[in-house]
Structure 1
Amino acid sequence: MPTHPVVLTECPRDAMQGLHEFIPTATKTAYLQQLLAVGFDVLDFGSFVSPRAIPQLRDTAEVLAGLDLSRTKTRLLAIVANRRGAEQAASHPEISYLGFPLSVSETFQRRNTNQTIAEALADVAAMHELCERTGKTLIVYLSMGFGNPYGDPYSPAVVAEFTQQLAALGVRIVALSDTIGASTPDLITPLFAELIPAFPQIEFGAHLHTTPTTWLEKVQAAYQAGCRRFDGALGGIGGCPMAADVLTGNMATENLVAFLAGKGEELRLDSEAFEQARQQAMQLMIS
């Protein structure tokens, strides 16, 4: 079993990016400031990508400039889709993590970042070197990590092969992403149970998408297999529009926190700030 503590990432970026109505910059900043008060380990707060691709997050730099980071332990994560975005993100000293989606599906890599997998891996190498130079940490999200709808090759061996390439580049954090909600305990448990001991130099995370009735079996399967790094979004808001079930969304942070607390994990969250943030999320993104 792993010796490292639980790492909890709140993902408002993933929750907001699919919303059609633009959230004003000041409103966005105030919500993120409330999330910083909760005490999450990591806040996936924004992205440096083309505003044409994700118009909702075109103001990430402005939002960052408006945040007060003087009273929080939370570290900031920004998603990037190419080297240019990585260079923009790395220029901000307030950002600790750069996240890049590398797909194990060739079709999805082309659709998501307009690259081949080979081109994306070359970007990963360059981004890792950039992070090393600038004091950041690269997190690689293995998109379609539990299967894909395109008929592209998929198996645990494929995921292990990608992980081997990332390990060779020096990547130290890899998150398996359940992009379309395809994961089941029968997939989750053996995959983490194989990867974690095989790559002890890598910290593995789970970015799971679930329905309201499948969240427990999924997080339990990952936890029992040794995963201790989890992503969630308050209210389970957001996720992938390609999921077959319209109820599929992000793992609800409320559920994650309840599960981990039940396992005796010390999360050190401010419960009052958490509830205020949860209420803000409902008003901001559902009402």
Structure 2
Amino acid sequence: MKIIECPRDAMQGREVFIDTAIKAAYINQLLNVGFDTVDFGSFVSPKAMPQMRDTAEVLDLLDLFHSKSKLLAIVANVRGAEDAMQFEEIDYLGFPLSISETFQQRNTNKSIQEALEVVANLQNMCEVKGRTLVTYLSMGFGNPYGEPFSADLVAEFVGKLDELGVKVIALSDTIGAADPALIEEVFKTNTQAYPEIEFGGHFHSRAEHIAEKVEAGLRGGCRRFDGAINGFGGCPMAKDELVGNVATEALIEVLEKNGYDLGMNQEEFGEAMKLAKFVFQ
């Protein structure tokens, strides 16, 4: 079981700039907890994500020596990937691909076809440089724009990514509207059809629906979940009123109740919870 902690997702939509040293201190604390991966920053246009304009500076302040956690950074194009790949500390590059044409334009200013071409380039770059591409398949459980959506359409996109050699796909409930039955169906269909691909769940959810969504993912074969402490964040490109990320503390509780030993350092996690209140005050 893998938990990916997402401070980048928690921070990126905040209007007040978080000081670089504070960002680094928070991420350093997260690196002590025992998460599989920390989604720590992004190499995108400062105009699009001004909060993340200091990702390279934050990276320079991180203490990775005692941490087993891997680092993930989001990119939106080849140029961002080239910037990220200058840093050997970064293990994963994440790219947001959408089933929705409208959302793809809003999120990366590209058509779906153009975004797929970027994915192909990024996958080739990652193979050459020894990195791993994580493709986030946004609007993976519903579409608020009146465009076509079905579980079969999700599977069609997964098939395209499989042809490109992508090995990690995070199915994303971008607007927090996924029905547990659909979550289970989508994961089960794809985990069975593509056993060589690692499928993750990136859910946005109200607190009262977290358990049922996570458990639906588990029944479908998902063994990789994204979270953010206290459920901070959400996707600023999706809606005016955000539905937050899955709260990591709730995610841990659900997984442990379902029998998973996560190997987390609870004391360090408690310190991270305390620091989060300061960072996101």
TM-score where L is the length of structure 2: 0.97
Q: Which residue of the partner structure matches residue 32 of structure 1? A: 27
Q: Deviations over 1:150-198 (max 9, x none)?
A: 1111101111000000000100000101111110112101111111100
Distance 2:207 2:251 in 1: 12
Q: Deviations over 1:95-152 (max 9, x none)?
A: 0000000000011001100001011000000000100111100000001111111111
Distance 1:154 1:54 in 2: 28
Distance 2:36 2:236 in 1: 27
Q: CA shift at 1:34, angstroms? A: 0.4
Q: Which residue of the partner structure matches residue 201 of structure 1? A: 196
Whether the aligned pair in 1 keeps the contact of 2:78 and 2:121 (CA below 8 Å) is: yes
Kindly indicate whether residue 111 of structure 2 is the aligned counterpart of residue 110 of structure 1.
no
Q: CA shift at 1:243, angstroms? A: 6.4
Q: CA RMSD in A?
A: 1.2
Closer/same/farther in 2, CA of residues 241 and 83 from structure 1, 3 Å limit? closer
Q: CA shift at 1:242, angstroms? A: 6.5
Q: CA shift at 1:248, angstroms? A: 2.2
- The amino acid of 1:160's aligned partner reads A
Kindly indicate whether residue 235 of structure 2 is the aligned counterpart of residue 240 of structure 1.
yes
Q: CA shift at 1:240, angstroms? A: 2.7
Deviates more, 1:191-200 or 1:247-256: 247-256
Q: Deviations over 1:1-55 (max 9, x none)?
A: xxxxx01100000000011110110111011000001110000000000001000
- The amino acid of 1:207's aligned partner reads H
Identity of aligned residues (%): 57
- The amino acid of 1:284's aligned partner reads V
Distance 1:7 1:188 in 2: 18
Closer/same/farther in 2, CA of residues 212 and 74 from structure 1, 3 Å limit? same
Q: Which residue of the partner structure matches residue 176 of structure 1? A: 171
Q: Which residue of the partner structure matches residue 81 of structure 1? A: 76
Deviates more, 1:34-43 or 1:232-241: 232-241
State the SS of the aligned residue for 2:64: coil
- Unaligned ranges ≥5, structure 2: none
Q: CA shift at 1:247, angstroms? A: 7.0
Q: Which residue of the partner structure matches residue 98 of structure 1? A: 93
Distance 1:53 1:244 in 2: 15
Closer/same/farther in 2, CA of residues 141 and 243 from structure 1, 3 Å limit? closer
Match of 1:157 among 134, 141, 152: 152
Q: Deviations over 1:229-276 (max 9, x none)?
A: 000000000113466795721000001111111222121111111001
Alignment of 1:1-287 (within 5 A): 6-241=1-236, 246=241, 248-285=243-280, 287=281
Distance 1:179 1:133 in 2: 31
Distance 2:238 2:131 in 1: 32
Whether the aligned pair in 2 keeps the contact of 1:181 and 1:243 (CA below 8 Å) is: no
Q: Which residue of the partner structure matches residue 3 of structure 1? A: none
TM-score where L is the length of structure 1: 0.95
Distance 1:269 1:276 in 2: 13
Distance 2:106 2:55 in 1: 23
Whether the aligned pair in 2 keeps the contact of 1:205 and 1:228 (CA below 8 Å) is: yes
Closer/same/farther in 2, CA of residues 161 and 15 from structure 1, 3 Å limit? same
